[in-house]
Amino acid sequence: MIEAFQNINKAFESKVRLGIMAVLMVNDEADFNSLKELLSLTDGNLASHTRALEELGYIVCRKAFVGRKTKTTFQATPQGREAFKAHIDALESFLKST
Amino acid sequence: MIEAFQNINKAFESKVRLGIMAVLMVNDEADFNSLKELLSLTDGNLASHTRALEELGYIVCRKAFVGRKTKTTFQATPQGREAFKAHIDALESFLKST
């Protein structure tokens, strides 16, 4: 149990970050509003977690103009995909051991 | 994915709380120092999470004198066991769906 526990990545422990990464693992990209609705989050809550994941190099953020509005789109980086897979493996081993 | 995601219990999302509950699910009780060493935590970190779990009614804390020292022991409550099981189920469903 302890080894799996140590391998759980604190960067992904929050439910919101698990949700963001899960969406970005199965979709090439997702925009801010889709993520917000899908995960039932507030703007502030989503923004603070995407910023943190971006600073860790796990996702990238792209802003584009759609008419007069900006559209923010996120993608998981190869590094983010690898780290998330390792986290899921650790979580699964931990759960199996409990 | 979304239903399983919504059922993830935020009270258990932190790695430390997962660890504490996992230990208390398989052991009738655990004392402060054993938990601290087992999970490689500092006093403050462990204390803040055990306090939070206690306030939620998920664990109980018992203090006793052993010689001149106090010994703090924790136990999961029936409510805590049930909530943790539901959390693990949600986490497993979520992981399966990713």
* Percent of chain B with pLDDT strictly greater than 90: 76
Give me the pLDDT at residue B95, please.
Answer: 80
Sign of CA dihedral B42, B15, A86, A35: negative
User: Which of A6-15, A88-97, B26-35, B81-90 is predicted least confidently?
Assistant: A88-97
Q: What is the pLDDT of residue A6?
A: 84
**Cβ–Cβ gap A40/B92 under 8 Å:** no
Question: Which chain B residues contact residue A40 at CB under 8 A?
Answer: 6
Digitized pLDDT (tens) for each residue of chain A, 98 residues in all = 777 888 889 999 899 999 999 999 989 999 999 999 999 999 999 999 999 999 999 999 999 999 999 999 999 999 999 999 999 888 888 888 76
Mutation site, A1, A12, A14, A15, interface B, largest B CB count within 10 A:
A15
Q: How is residue B11 annotated by DSSP?
A: G
Could you tell me if B61 and B74 are in contact, meaning their C-beta atoms sit under 8 angstroms apart? yes
Q: How many CB atoms lie within 10 A of CB B88?
A: 20
**Which chain B residues are within 8 Å of A15, Cβ to Cβ?**
5, 8, 10, 13
What is the reported pLDDT for B33? 95
HSE-CB of A47 using CA atoms within 13 angstroms: 4
- Taking 80 as the threshold, does the pLDDT of residue B7 lie above it? yes
Q: Which pLDDT score is estimated for A93?
A: 87
Tens of pLDDT, residues B41-79 = 999 999 999 999 999 999 999 999 999 999 999 999 999
pLDDT at B1 over 80: no
Mean pLDDT of chain B: 92
What would the mean pLDDT of B8-36 be, rounded to a whole number? Answer: 93
Instruction: List, in order of start, the domains of chain A with CATH numbers.
Output: 2-97 (1.10.10.10)
The interface predicted TM-score of the complex, written ipTM, equals 0.71
Share in percent of chain B as helix, strand, coil (round to 5): 60, 20, 20
Interface of B with A (CB under 8 A): 1-2, 5-6, 8, 10, 13-15, 18-19, 22, 25-26, 38-40, 88, 91-92, 94-95, 97-98
Please state, in angstroms and as integers, the Cα–Cα distance from residue B66 to each residue in A9, B24, B46, B70, B72, following that order. 37, 22, 21, 6, 10
Residue of higher predicted confidence among B28 and A5 = B28
Buried b (16+ CB within 10 A) or exposed e, B27-57: eeebebeebbebbebeeeebeebbebbeebe
